[in-house]
Amino acid sequence: MQLRENAVLERSIRKNGRRGVTLIELMITLVLLGIVAGGMMQIIVRQQKFYNGNSSVLGTRSNVRQGVAVFQSDLRAINPLTDVYSGQMTSTSFEFREPRGSSVVCAIDGGKTTIVVPPPALTNGAGLTSWVQAPQVGDSVLFYDTNTRAWVAAGVEITGSQPTQGSGTCIGLTPLVDAVRGWKFTVNTSAGPGVTVGSPVRFFRKARYELKQAADNDWYLAYRDCSPARSPACSDPQPIAGPYLPPDNSPPGLEFGYFDAAGNPTTDPTQLRRIDIALRSQGSIQIDMDGRAKGLYRDSLKTSIAVRNFQ
Amino acid sequence: MRSHRVGDRRGFALLVALAALVIIGGLIVGAFFASTQEFRIGRNTVLQSRAMTSAEYGLNSALRSDVWDQSWNNNTSAGAILLTKDFDAGDGSGGTLRIVNLGNENYLAVSEGFSGSTASAQGRKRLGGFLKLRKPKFKFLGAVTTKGDIKVTGSTEIHGEDTPPTEWLDCPPPDSALPGLAYSPSTPPQIQCSAKNCVTGNPPSVPLADADNPDTYNLFGDLKYADLAAMADKTIPGGKTFTNLAPTFKTDSLGKVYCVRTDTSNWGDPTHAYPSPACRPYFPIIHVKGNLKLTGGAGQGILLVDGDLNASGGINFYGPVIVKGALSVTGNGSGARFVGGVMAENVYLDDNKVAGNAVVSYSSCAVNKALNGSATPMFDRSRGWIEMY
């Protein structure tokens, strides 16, 4: 009888192809699953923290790098004797006459007020003209006087209609095919008798760098330029890099240092030969990464810019 | 039965392993991405910095004597590209330097620096430099200016009228005439020449206080005599005699003729007496540390003599001549010809004499060409450096 029951049970198992699990097996399985799942969750959480922390580190570093890159190209070419505005050389802001472009006179009228400069790209690759942005009405202009071998003093501005390519024709200096692509502009004061075809030209605009608080309450490196042809003359400061630490932080998010030729700090623009700029940024989230202190990530970058033109 | 049991098991190890692989893979990719980003940013910063320094290197190399060709100094073709030269900065970066003539003795150097060898990682920076010529300014008070005695005898002629050298066809119109002789008020000249109008000019001779001023003989614009001597292309010990000065040439394998500037007795080709024009734009500064004797031949440039200069044998010299001691020209019908201007500062006031068949004539063209030809380029310090985009 017993043998018969066993045989029936075995047939039943074979028929269904299934075996049951015991409570112990189930518990062991659950414990193992819990351990594995817990480990996985820990890895996922740490990975998420790593990702967030890494993003914060990269973003913060990127902020300071961007700011430094902006300053380097803008400040190297200034001439502190004439390009720094009085009282505007502070530790947290810098107002200056920003070099916007350079060119060479390729045609000029008798009154020395209508000037043509070559286009930026010449077929012979001479590279006579280069600018960040094409000259605008209101930009100030400096001319090199070939008689006095000096630059004509400031006070000359582009006036009249907006210069465009092809508005003037070069007489000399450029290959013939490029001559008709000249940029013509008018200035409000005669450039002077010594300004002739071949005289170098520089274009400028008043500009300022400072920290500015944006609508998100963070502080950004802000750029503002001015042109007498606009109303109001000066634009609202536009954030161009950041966020950085606030200006009242110690140390502040943006800090300028001014030095003379001997490396001593100076407040006199005429003695200025080197500008040190420190940018300090802070991430917006708490980082929790192996090998780094817990908290907000901070980074800073300091650069020294030697001004190239100073006589 | 055993195989049947194994095949029937429903495990989760594979699933777990796959999930773990995905997560670990994600972690690795995340870390790799982050480090790649950092690497790229760092590499780009290095490449940009290298391109910048390379461009600066190229720009500054425009001033080097082996790059700047002094024949450009007298080039009047505005807009001409004088040089296109690739350079190697030595750290794997390099670039191209272009020099454009702007006219009026002004030049624009454009240096484009490159770094990085792969297409995906390269730095580029373009810088410009406005160059002008650094040259002395001579204040000739007359064709001959002296603070000492001057004695003019024989068939000597001194002309203050601006007379371009007859061999030079590209001189501008003459300037107004200078005095033939400008001398110190305290030492009037002894003019005993045979010709009636041997000294001409506006006026032929004049006493000037400036002729007594030591600065007239020592200060040339922002350069001193010592500065000029330091800029000399040829420094010659005192006591030297040159006989029949003449240019020397070298022909390369392609038949191109060069002027051998290293030859001490090659002072250019002022009279255009040779078929090759290679030495015509060569205007050396010649500094003699003592006495000098010239007998025959021709030369051009700026001649600085610390001691006495004795010229004879039909020597021709075109350009300014500054003699600290005595200028003495002698010869029986074959003295010397100086075209340009002569200044002699003589502490021994009675040592100056111009005698024999000598001709000294003022030429602004000869002076300017010599000044230009021997000038060196310099960056305009106030606005010369420009960043180009």
pLDDT at B348 over 70: no
Q: Which tokens belong to B358?
A: 């000598």
Task: List the single residue in A65, A76, A146 with the smallest CB-CB distance to B41.
Answer: A65
Q: How far is B80 from chain A (nearest CA, A)?
A: 7
A50 and B31 in contact by Cβ < 8 A? Answer: yes
CB contact B126 to A (< 8 Å):
yes
What's the burial of B174, exposed, middle or buried (CB within 10 Å: 0-12/13-18/19+)?
Answer: middle
Residues in chain A within 8 Å Cβ distance of B26: 47
Distance CA A80, CA A309 (A): 8
Distance CA B69, CA B261 (A): 12
Q: Look at phi and psi of residue A274 and say left if phi exceeds 0, alpha if psi is from -120 to 50, else beta.
A: beta
* B190-194 long-range contacts, CB within 8 A, separation 24+: B190/B149, B190/B150, B190/B151, B190/B152, B190/B153, B191/B152, B192/B151, B192/B152, B192/B153, B193/B152, B193/B153, B193/B154, B193/B155, B193/B156, B193/B157, B194/B154, B194/B155
**Which chain A residue lies closest to B99 (C-alpha atoms)?**
A126
Task: List the single residue in A65, A99, A198 with the smallest CB-CB distance to B103.
Answer: A198
Q: How far is A248 from chain B (nearest CA, A)?
A: 30
Distance CA B47, CA B44 (A): 5
Residue from A29, A54, A56, A100 to probe the interface with B (highest B Cβ count within 10 Å): A54
Residues in chain B within 8 Å Cβ distance of A199: 102, 104, 106
Give mean pLDDT, residues A22-35. 89
pLDDT at B350 over 50: no
Pair B247, B258: CB distance under 8 Å: no
Q: How far is B155 from chain A (nearest CA, A)?
A: 41
The per-residue pLDDT for A15 is: 53
B387 and A36 in contact by Cβ < 8 A? Answer: no
- B323-335 residue pLDDT tens: 998 888 876 656 7
Query: Which helix (DSSP H) or strand (DSSP E) does residue B26 occupy?
Result: helix B13-61
A61 and B41 in contact by Cβ < 8 A? Answer: yes
- B279-324 residue pLDDT tens: 998 999 999 999 999 999 999 999 999 999 988 888 999 999 999 9
Least confident of A93-102, A261-270, B172-181, B348-357: B348-357
pLDDT at B95 over 90: yes
Q: Which tokens belong to B79?
A: 């807009």
pLDDT at B346 over 80: no
Q: Is the ipTM of this complex over 0.85?
A: no
Q: How far is B212 from chain A (nearest CA, A)?
A: 28
The percentage of chain A sitting over the pLDDT mark of 90, rounded to a whole number, equals 55
The percentage of chain B sitting over the pLDDT mark of 70, rounded to a whole number, equals 93
A62 and B41 in contact by Cβ < 8 A? Answer: yes
pLDDT bin (cut points 50, 70, 90) of residue B7 is: low
Distance CA B76, CA A179 (A): 19
Q: How far is B127 from chain A (nearest CA, A)?
A: 10
Kindly report the average pLDDT of chain B as a whole number.
86
Query: Which helix (DSSP H) or strand (DSSP E) does residue B268 occupy?
Result: none
